[in-house]
Amino acid sequence: MEVLHCTTLASPVGPLFLAASQQGLAALEFDQRLPGQQTIRPNPRDLRAESKSVRFEECEQELSPYGGELEEYFAGRRREFSFPLDLRGTDFQEACWRALLKIPYGETRSYADIARAVGRPQGFRAVGMANNRNPIAIVVPCHRVIASDGTLCGYGGGLDVKRKLLELEGALSGTLAA
């Protein structure tokens, strides 16, 4: 059985749940998830047991390097994360997430841009679904993806959080700021 170390970190956008494997950060989730939003954690309300293959162990100390870099990011002192990631998804999802990692701090891309980057120029809706399944919010910056008309749309943490992250990065201008 795989053990994922986990903790909850306070942040300017609310509590964040972090989980890491031996390979790297496997999850960064908003503690207040939207209905139907994917999660790595079991739902305590329906008393589901943890997966037979994964067990969570609370361990703030193991997650402190990740938390430290996130605190630097929120303080405006970090533009890139240096820790390893343990991305878990389909080949298409992972291709989309790796494309997101290439979006520079302070910039945005459209869903269509990401679709072209992964070789599926008509797959902007599929890109949107891959973003929706992104297990490592903020670090895998799906908040930097906007609609082709330049407006904010869809974000697991809510549009207010997306706006705050883009403001922090200095990426809000014109239509985005409206």
CA dist 167 and 175 (Å) reads 13
CA dist 173 and 150 (Å) reads 10
Largest CA distance in the chain: 50
Examine the residue annotation and report whether 142 is marked as an active-site residue of this protein: yes
Among residues 6, 59, 96, 142, the one annotated as catalytic is 142
- Count of Cβ atoms closer than 10 Å to residue 94 Cβ: 14
CA dist 16 and 9 (Å) reads 5
Q: How far is CA 12 from CA 18, 30, 161, in A?
A: 15, 11, 9
Nearest to 72 by CA among 105, 30, 29: 105
CA dist 106 and 13 (Å) reads 18
Residues serving a catalytic function are 142
